[in-house]
Amino acid sequence: MSIKKISKDQPEKFEFNSDNLELSKIIINKYPKGKQQSAVMPLLYLVQKQNNNWIPLVGMKYIAKMLDIPYIKVYEVATFYTMYNLSPVGKYFIQVCTTTPCMIRGAYKIVEACKQKISENENVLSNNKTCSWMEVECLGACVNAPVVQINEDYFEDLNKEKAEKIIDKILNNEKPIPGSYKGRNNSEPENKRKSLIEEKNA
Ligand code: FES
């Protein structure tokens, strides 16, 4: 689930900054001539990234113009896929996985931390307007449960205290380090490898 409600407050203008303009040309050139409209999804994602994690209507119009396709085509895509947010979610958008593996490893303690530190309810901006949170389904990193995603980074093997420290950092506009908070390398076993030990590179 994402924020599919179109925001009432819309900016009047959107255009890519010079880096993203450059990147958008590279993305468009990946598609065969005449098929540039296929770039709509990565370009919408780029708009979202530049615009503090949400896509305004002017951003959709901008993409439509860039790809020379009707605005409604871009609108259809943006309103269909859950990864696009259509209302402000803050510069730091925290997605807390509460599907079963994360739930039994303490995901609701992390939800508690979000409620205490960010906002009582999901999808409500923090007091300093930089951050919001929401519950989501499996983020695909169950082996490192419980997991949260902040913008494009995963924070894994969390507990309430560790989640609180991460939230404190982002509320102070600092960048927390992503990855396992148990010091694991990716999803390796916690207490040394117990299988395939005779395999050197397993
Ligand atoms: S259940 Fe949380 S990442 Fe899969």
Handedness of CA 166, 170, 171, 174 (dihedral sign): positive
Which long-range contacts does 19-24 make (Cβ < 8 Å, 24+ apart)? 20/46, 20/49, 20/50, 24/66
Per DSSP, what are the bridge partners of residue 148? 96, 155
Q: What CATH number does domain 18-80 carry, 1.10.10, 3.10.620, 3.30.160, 1.10.700?
A: 1.10.10
Per DSSP, what are the bridge partners of residue 197? none
pLDDT in tens, 177-195: 999 999 888 888 777 777 7
Average pLDDT over residues 6-26: 96
Indicate which atom in ligand 1 lies nearest the CA of residue 101.
1
110 lines ligand 1 (CB under 6 A): no
145 lines ligand 1 (CB under 6 A): yes
Both tokens of 168, joined, read 């404190």
pLDDT band at 144 (very low <50, low <70, confident <90, very high): very high
Closest CA to 11 of 55, 70, 66: 55
pLDDT number for residue 201 = 67
106 lines ligand 1 (CB under 6 A): no
Distances (CA, A) of 184 to 25, 66, 135: 38, 44, 25
Average pLDDT over residues 167-183: 95
Q: Where are the domains of the chain?
A: 18-80, 92-180
pLDDT in tens, 19-29: 999 999 999 99
The DSSP call for residue 7 is P
Cβ neighbours, 10 Å, residue 85: 24
The DSSP call for residue 62 is H
Both tokens of 73, joined, read 């085509």
pLDDT number for residue 196 = 77
136 lines ligand 1 (CB under 6 A): no
pLDDT number for residue 179 = 95
Arithmetic mean of pLDDT over the chain: 93
pLDDT in tens, 62-110: 999 999 999 999 999 999 998 899 999 999 999 999 999 999 999 999 9
| pLDDT at residue 2 is higher than 70 | no
pLDDT band at 52 (very low <50, low <70, confident <90, very high): very high
pLDDT in tens, 113-125: 999 999 999 989 9
Q: In angstroms, what is the span from residue 87 Cα to ligand 1's centroid?
A: 25
| pLDDT at residue 199 is higher than 80 | no
CA dist., res. 157 & res. 149, Å (int): 12
143 lines ligand 1 (CB under 6 A): no
Give the CATH class of 92-180.
alpha beta
